[in-house]
Amino acid sequence: MIVTLTPNPSIDRAVFVDDLVRGAVHRATGSRVDPGGKGVNVSRALAAQGAATTAVLPTGGPEGHLLQELLDEAGVAHRGVPVSGPVRMNISVLEPDGTTTKLNEPGPVLSDVEVEALVATTLEQSAGAAWVVGCGSLPPGAPADLYATLVTRVRGRGGRVAIDSSGAPLAAAVAARPHLVKPNHEELAELVGHSLPTLEDVRAAARDLVTEGIETVAVSLGSDGALLVTAESVIHARATISAPLSTVGAGDCMLAGLLHALSSGLPAGDALATGVLWGAAAVTLPGSRVPAPADLRGISVQLTHDPDLSRTLAH
Ligand SMILES: Nc1ncnc2c1ncn2[C@@H]1O[C@H](COP(=O)(O)OP(=O)(O)OP(=O)(O)O)[C@@H](O)[C@H]1O
Ligand SMILES: O=P(O)(O)OC[C@@]1(O)O[C@H](CO)[C@@H](O)[C@@H]1O
């Protein structure tokens, strides 16, 4: 069982246009709505592969009701925490070549009581869980140490905890020593305060975090795959996709695959390959749709325990 906490979930509306022009009126060629927010997506990806998961999230306003209905339809177990402000709606504008423009709302202001209810509900759900995962941005009003608090409290109960966030909440969480973090390239660069043009730069930054007490640092690198660093190993995996459709949620699917494989007892390399497979499959799907087992077929992953660290990264 993997329990996810998404303090700032969303309704994700994807709108398809032929060519996005700033300031112009566009006639969309289609649209879709998905339940969203990074932890929600991790739970959706797990549930789509038949893995046990519960998503904990605030459920304010009519949008909060819709989000719960969408999760019910997708067969994702969830525990909603009532809050006074409405869940946000995030828009993705998708062009035929896969270019994605994203507009994320800030989300509702949460009170201290609502924040505590979210963390307490996550801990209630996490008895016996293989992993507790805190994911995404924090809504206005939530303290920057929300994930750090989660890490400390899960660790205090002997549980395993992973964090996927950015900026100040990620920095605070890192200081509390989660078992695993999954920054993307930009988030890791922001965390360490300098750019990371090569795989060696990423390895060095990730190894510093391992030295600080984080067991596993998995850095997602978009079309360059992902690098997993522990005290013992540096492993790279990558999958080539011929027709990328939407990258929204790919990192969440990557994290879901990685944690699912680790909790199934697979070694780090196989777990990374599973994560990269789930992430790459997500990129072949519209909006933030998560891959079903059939979507994983036909994608091959190149895994190496001895990566070419001089390689310059695509972004
Ligand atoms: N163009 C691509 N081709 C192949 N695989 C990709 C591509 N883009 C992403 N992936 C896969 O998806 C994973 C996650 O991608 P990325 O690093 O963009 O995550 P992210 O920035 O955290 O995404 P998000 O925040 O939208 O969930 C990568 O590790 C890789 O496996
Ligand atoms: O604003 P945040 O919390 O950083 O990201 C939210 C979000 O962009 O992340 C998911 C994709 O990873 C989407 O479902 C959602 O809209």
Q: Summarize pLDDT for 218-243 with one digit per residue, the tens.
A: 999 999 999 999 999 999 999 999 88
**Residue 170: CB within 6 Å of ligand 1?**
no
Q: Which whole number is the average pLDDT over 96-107?
A: 92
97 falls in which pLDDT band (50, 70, 90)?
confident
pLDDT attached to residue 98: 80
Higher confidence at residue 119 or residue 98?
119
Tell me which of 41, 67, 90, 146 to substitute to probe ligand 2's pocket, judged by most ligand atoms within 8 Å of the beta carbon. Answer: 90
Instruction: Say whether pTM exceeds 0.90.
Output: yes
Q: Is 221 in the pocket of ligand 1 (CB under 6 A)?
A: yes
Residue 255: pLDDT over 80 = yes
Q: Is the pLDDT at 35 greater than 70, yes or no?
A: yes
Residues within a 6 A CB radius of ligand 2: 8, 10, 12, 36-38, 41, 90, 102, 104, 136-137, 248-249, 251-252, 288
Does 303 score more than 90 pLDDT? Answer: yes
Ligand nearest to the CA of 34: 2
pLDDT score for 57: 98
d(CA 45, CA 52): 11
Ligand 2 centroid from CA 19, angstroms:
23
In this structure, what are the phi and psi dihedrals at residue 292, rounded to the nearest 5 degrees? -90, 170
Ligand nearest, relative to CA of residue 40: 2
pLDDT value, residue 52: 98
Write down the pLDDT at residue 246.
Answer: 86
Q: How far is the CA of 120 from the centre of ligand 1 (A)?
A: 31
Percent of the chain with pLDDT over 90: 93
Q: Measure the CA–CA gap between 106 and 258, rounded to whole angstroms.
A: 28
Q: pLDDT digits over 265-299, tens only?
A: 999 999 999 999 999 999 999 888 999 999 999 99
* β-bridge partners, 163: 134, 181
Ligand nearest to the CA of 184: 1
Say what the pLDDT of residue 79 is. 98
pLDDT at 242: 86
Q: What are phi and psi of 106, to 5 degrees?
A: -70, -30
- The band of 217, judged by pLDDT with boundaries at 50, 70 and 90, is very high
List the helix and strand counts (H, then E) for the chain.
Answer: 10, 14
State in Å: Cα 133 to ligand 2 middle: 15
Which residues carry out catalysis? 252
Nearest CA-CA partner of 80 in 173, 171, 5, 30: 5
* pLDDT number for residue 315: 65
pLDDT at residue 204 is higher than 90? yes
Domains of the chain: 2-304 (3.40.1190.20)
Strands (E) in the chain, as ranges, are: 2-5, 10-16, 30-36, 53-58, 78-81, 88-94, 100-103, 131-135, 161-164, 180-181, 216-220, 226-229, 234-239, 301-304
Q: Which atom of ligand 2 is nearest to the CA of 36?
A: 14
Q: ipTM surpassing 0.90, yes or no?
A: yes
CB neighbours of 295 closer than 8 A, spacing ≥ 6?
A: 281, 284, 285
Picking from 68-72, 113-117, 163-167, 310-314, which range would have the lowest pLDDT averaged per residue?
310-314
Give the pLDDT band (50/70/90) at residue 167: very high
Q: In what order do the strands lie in the sheet with 131-135?
A: 78-81, 53-58, 2-5, 131-135, 161-164, 180-181, 216-220, 226-229, 234-239, 301-304
- Residue 308 Cα to ligand 2 midpoint, Å, equals 31
